[in-house]
Structure 1
Amino acid sequence: MSCSENKEKKIQDTPPNVILIFTDDQGYQDLGTFGAPDIATPHLDNMALNGVKLTSFYVAQAVCSASRAGILTGCYPNRVGIHNAYMPNAKTGLNTKETTIAKMLKSIGYRTAMYGKWHLGDDKKFMPNNHGFDDYFGIPYSNDMWPLHPQQGSVFNFGPLPLYENEKILDTLTDQSDLTTQITERSVAFIESNKEQPFFLYVAHPQPHVPLFVSDKFKGKSERGHYGDVIMEIDWSVGQILATLKKNGLEDNTVVIFTSDNGPWLAYGNHAGSALPFSEGKGTAWEGGQREPFIIKYPKKLTPGRTLDTPVMAIDILPTIAEITGAPLPKLPIDGKSVWPILIGESTESPQEAYFFYYRVNELHGVRYGKWKMYFPHTYRTMEGQTLGKDGIPGEYKMINLEEIALYNVLNDKSETHNVAKEYPEVVEKIRILANNMRQKLGDSLLELEGTENREVGRVD
């Protein structure tokens, strides 16, 4: 075999790099390619043109910590005992027995790094370096958990917000204007220093979670005000990462994924994103709370420029990456399944019969089944009819009781306005059966089921 043939074979055999970019509280409509009329996102729009766009991608739960647990472990968050958003000095966190994407890829020789917001437990034993990440730079929980919170003193009593480098606190933040830039610079440096070996990079931007911060280079640039400026800087960050891959000849053999952790925090009004055409937002199981923009680019394997509407959930990302890279799946049971056949065009059917939408500690609120989305009676929050917040000060939610089962055809009724449960009793019954099967595995505190296989106690640390 000639030298050139050897080189070509080495390129073909090299496992792909993996980059997961995960924003915070970003709405479905906050990118040009997903319909934003007033925010310029040229790099992400171009990524979609040269990659694959999913229009029915769901996060694992519509809240910070639970959502992050779902995408990193391939599990429904309640399976691993994580719900809601951890507060500072939490006594629990993601059990180190769990296999994260980082730990999975590290086991086959990948270098790994995480830059940005962690939010899976801030005690040392739960931090990123103990979950498979070789390098870490960022904040341990949400960027509003600091003394400058607008409700500090009346509702909260937060201490200083620490900025970590691995296990060392570098600083306590009083201004976050340069944090997106710092995370981007770290990401670029990591790619440059690891270009000769496979790597996994998890970029978890703290923005556009309130309080909104943007560097001087993007202030006043967007037609959607301060929020739009923040999204434009995130788009710039993605552009820097993609340019670094191209510069180093890594573009074709790198899987790049962009999505967010949950829908917009609607109480913050002009400092919140848009989930249109979907209803509600963060903290609810309605479409606006859990359906997120999703783009994946992998030139070596994925035909570019395709838009797919097959339902996929964040729990499917870990097993999909396992299939792409040849990494072994976790030893503990997971809920996700590989959607690689969908991404490469071999199938239009989800490997999951249904997706289940839990919230709070362990309440099953809804189920996505084919074109159908069904909700069980539950209480949820809304800003409908309420005064929205403004300029970083939140409005006040009101609580609504959904008193009967609601069924929507979310292909035709994206805003979930026409309840057809009474017209399709056979669909309602089928989803009830699927829900009851899942309840036997993960429970449902709304029903206080006994005899379930819920592993929450065994898997949370």
Structure 2
Amino acid sequence: MMTTIAAASKRPNVVIILADDQGYGDLGCFGSQTIKTPVIDGLAAEGMKFTQFYVTASVCTPSRASLMTGSYPARVGFSKGVVFPDHEHGLPAGIKTLPDLFKEVGYTTGMVGKWHLGHSEGNLPLDRGFDYFYGAPYSNDMVMSSHLKVSSNMVLRNGRTKEDFLEKRWGAENRGVLMQGDEVIEFPADQTLWTQRFTEKAVDFIKANSEQPFFLYVAHCMPHLPIELSERFAGKSAHGPYGDTIQEIDWSTGEILKALRDTGVDQNTLLVYTSDNGPWIYAGSPEEVGTAGPLRDGKSYQWEGGMRMPTVMWGPGIVASGKVCDEMASTLDLYTTFAKLIGATLPSDRELDGYDISALWSGDADVKSPRDSMLYFSLMGELVGIRKGDWKLLLHSDRMVEQYMKKAEKHKFTHLDNVELFNLQQDVSEKYNLADENPEKVKTLRDELQRYRYLDIKNLN
């Protein structure tokens, strides 16, 4: 019998480790033959591997918005695209975020790594429930924003000047912003050191807060392009620079695990490892990007490769050891599950889309997930699909079909239909469109999808 939350003598610490653009097939425990991840594989062996764990979007900002709020992105102002340096918006004012839940019941909250949910005044991590922040305001391929405050001790590299902060243009020599608290401390940041620095700060946070319950969110900037890594990991994998970065993240996970053990809190900590979306497979060579394993496509698309994440949960006495969970779950569910785990009050300011999935941690094969469906949105915020049970329906606009066909040679498939129906239990790779053979199933799923049409960007206020 697993330890229940009610029986726990001390509220558990919670650590989330989030990779950026990591593919489903890029961990040893998820089948990689070219990338060695012994630490994360060990967590899977001692904990639970989730084979059907979903995000809500196939790009950074909306996916992270759901992780932080437990709601589909359309409910919290992030239904379309990602935040860029010149953007001013963030999460809605007053919304209760995931770190807010933890703070409500006395946790110390820390974040290390990439935020990407707004960086203008009032929208940075310290404004959104975190007590501590060290990291990047947005993606590592983005330049400085004039909305950001500059530390008086800021390190300027590559001949940059303070005037460069007013530039809002792309450029290889200008990208990468490093912050501590609410101030920029280095520009352009030395991204070869980011994973190492984030790891050091995460370890420091654990050591400084081991006597009280804490929530730590480690959001790596890698393996998002451009790939950067420490010199000691260069050439270590059989998957080029991309694989090297994953192996460095595996090392980082090991350092975090060591800190938990050294401080004696590992037996009272829940750790979740996942990614924000699938690999950016059309953005570079095979050595620069990841693989979705058996899944179709990757980042920016609503097929499984963009939406289903390699996920491991570990927690002695909380999560069963050596189990594989094939039930459907999502980052949406972490918000609700953690609230129940720590005794926090769920907000009533918006509709939550997550479920308490803690029963799955028992590893009991008879336990079913409370989640039986997922919605799929396009990059433009259009509601384009739904999964219900084993069946998945995607409705592609003429514009989407046209854009897809223009670069069909880059895709696994050279044709795209407006209506796609897949049975994921039989065809996880989404090779066989069954729409013509199953018109009644298409109609049923269309009708189900219609219930959520108010979340389509065309219908939002």
C-alpha separation in 2, matches of 1:202 and 1:53: 20
- Is 1:355–2:374 an aligned residue pair? yes
Matches for 1:109-148 after TM superposition, within 5 Å: 109-146=106-143
Q: Secondary structure of 1:126's match?
A: coil
Q: CA 1:432–1:32 in 2, change beyond 3 Å: closer, same or farther?
A: same
Matches for 1:304-453 after TM superposition, within 5 Å: 304-332=321-349, 333-345=351-363, 348-378=367-397, 379=400, 384-386=408-410, 402-440=416-454, 442=455, 444-445=456-457, 448=458
Shift of 1:144: 0.6
1:62 maps to which residue? Answer: 58
Does the CA contact (< 8 Å) of 1:354 and 1:434 recur in 2? Answer: no
Does the CA contact (< 8 Å) of 1:377 and 1:401 recur in 2? Answer: no
User: RMSD of the TM alignment (CA)?
Assistant: 2.4
Q: Secondary structure of 1:86's match?
A: coil
Shift of 1:330: 1.9
C-alpha separation in 2, matches of 1:398 and 1:245: 42
Does the CA contact (< 8 Å) of 2:297 and 2:305 recur in 1? Answer: yes
For residues 394-419 of structure 1, what are the alpha-carbon distances to aligned partners after superposition, in whole Å with 9 as ceiling and x for unaligned? xxx99998443211111221111111
- Is 1:199–2:226 an aligned residue pair? no
- Is 1:284–2:301 an aligned residue pair? yes
* Percent identical residues: 39
C-alpha separation in 1, matches of 2:15 and 2:304: 26
Q: CA 1:201–1:139 in 2, change beyond 3 Å: closer, same or farther?
A: same
Q: Secondary structure of 1:125's match?
A: coil
1:329 partner letter? L
C-alpha separation in 2, matches of 1:191 and 1:175: 24
Q: CA 1:400–1:78 in 2, change beyond 3 Å: closer, same or farther?
A: farther
Q: Which of 267, 270, 273 matches 2:290?
A: 273
Q: CA 1:399–1:168 in 2, change beyond 3 Å: closer, same or farther?
A: farther
- Is 1:87–2:104 an aligned residue pair? no
Q: CA 1:130–1:224 in 2, change beyond 3 Å: closer, same or farther?
A: same
Q: Secondary structure of 2:210's match?
A: coil
1:73 maps to which residue? Answer: 69
C-alpha separation in 1, matches of 2:128 and 2:362: 30
Q: Which moved more, 1:399-408 or 1:287-296?
A: 399-408
C-alpha separation in 1, matches of 2:433 and 2:211: 55
The count of corresponding residues between Structure 1 and Structure 2 is: 423
1:5 maps to which residue? Answer: none
C-alpha separation in 2, matches of 1:354 and 1:130: 33
C-alpha separation in 2, matches of 1:203 and 1:139: 11
Shift of 1:168: 1.8
Does the CA contact (< 8 Å) of 1:89 and 1:122 recur in 2? Answer: no
TM-score calculated relative to the size of structure 1: 0.87
Shift of 1:424: 2.6
Q: Secondary structure of 1:307's match?
A: strand
1:405 partner letter? V
Shift of 1:81: 1.2
Shift of 1:353: 3.7
List runs of 5+ in structure 1 lacking aligned partners: 1-9, 149-154, 387-396
1:163 maps to which residue? Answer: 178
C-alpha separation in 1, matches of 2:201 and 2:255: 11
C-alpha separation in 1, matches of 2:412 and 2:127: 40
1:296 maps to which residue? Answer: 313
C-alpha separation in 2, matches of 1:426 and 1:341: 34
Q: CA 1:160–1:45 in 2, change beyond 3 Å: closer, same or farther?
A: closer
Does the CA contact (< 8 Å) of 2:281 and 2:289 recur in 1? Answer: yes
Q: Secondary structure of 2:191's match?
A: coil
Does the CA contact (< 8 Å) of 2:323 and 2:363 recur in 1? Answer: no
2:188 maps to which residue? Answer: 173
Q: Which moved more, 1:155-164 or 1:65-74?
A: 155-164
Q: Which moved more, 1:428-437 or 1:130-139?
A: 428-437
- Is 1:16–2:12 an aligned residue pair? yes
C-alpha separation in 2, matches of 1:422 and 1:38: 39
C-alpha separation in 2, matches of 1:401 and 1:423: 18
- Is 1:248–2:263 an aligned residue pair? yes
Does the CA contact (< 8 Å) of 1:20 and 1:256 recur in 2? Answer: yes
Shift of 1:355: 0.8
Q: CA 1:318–1:146 in 2, change beyond 3 Å: closer, same or farther?
A: same
Q: Secondary structure of 2:11's match?
A: coil
1:6 maps to which residue? Answer: none
Does the CA contact (< 8 Å) of 1:17 and 1:254 recur in 2? Answer: yes
List runs of 5+ in structure 2 lacking aligned partners: 1-5, 145-157, 159-167
C-alpha separation in 2, matches of 1:400 and 1:156: 35
C-alpha separation in 2, matches of 1:366 and 1:345: 30
Does the CA contact (< 8 Å) of 1:116 and 1:204 recur in 2? Answer: yes
Shift of 1:196: 0.7
Does the CA contact (< 8 Å) of 2:192 and 2:228 recur in 1? Answer: yes
Q: Secondary structure of 2:244's match?
A: helix
C-alpha separation in 2, matches of 1:341 and 1:350: 8
